């Protein structure tokens, strides 16, 4: 299977291409942020619409405040999440997906649906594994 590769952004050599399988490729940390448990869940939750921090934390059950904050900062830095501070008292912060974030979140939601739909098969495989 051939994949289309895009040029790296942070390089002086325009002949280099993004290759997540290459050890020093700048796409690896981005993939790590997206594919982490909290990154995936935050992105997919944000497909539902804008969230304030505390509401997103409730939606992504089990994430600590610190971990969600770090996750959102990384996703914002990578251009997938937009953070908007509204000038109210107290200040109100809302998170939304960028165009890139929405594209990635759509694919992640597909993956989540495949996993959830196939949980009976997974549970059978796990049971068989532990029997052997």
Given a contact cutoff of 8 angstroms between Cβ atoms, the answer to whether 25 and 13 are in contact is no
Contact 85, 93 (CB under 8 A): yes
- pLDDT tens profile 96-126: 999 999 999 999 999 999 999 999 999 999 9
Q: How do the domains of the chain map onto residue ranges?
A: 36-131
pLDDT at position 1:
44
CA 7 to CA 60: how far, in whole Å? 33
SS3 content of the chain, % helix, strand, coil (to 5): 55, 10, 35
What's the predicted TM-score (pTM) here?
0.84
Residue 120 vs residue 14, higher pLDDT: 120
CATH 1.10.10.10 fits 36-131, yes or no: yes
- Interior CA angle at 23 toward 21 and 25, to 5°? 80
Q: Residue 81: is its pLDDT beyond 80? A: yes
Q: Which two tokens stand for residue 98?
A: 């960028």
Which pair of tokens denotes residue 127?
């049971």
């Amino acid at each position: 299977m051939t994949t289309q590769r895009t040029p790296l952004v942070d390089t002086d050599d325009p002949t280099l291409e993004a290759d997540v399988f290459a050890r020093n490729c700048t796409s690896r940390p981005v993939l790590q942020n997206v594919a982490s448990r909290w990154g995936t869940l935050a992105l997919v939750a944000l497909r539902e619409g804008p969230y304030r921090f505390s509401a997103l934390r409730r939606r992504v059950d089990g994430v600590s405040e610190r971990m969600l904050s770090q996750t959102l900062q990384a996703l914002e830095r990578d251009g997938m999440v937009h953070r908007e501070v509204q000038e109210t008292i107290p200040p109100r912060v809302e998170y939304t997906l960028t165009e890139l974030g929405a594209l990635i979140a759509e694919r992640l939601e597909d993956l989540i649906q495949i996993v959830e739909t196939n949980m009976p098969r997974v549970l059978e495989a796990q049971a068989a594994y532990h029997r052997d």
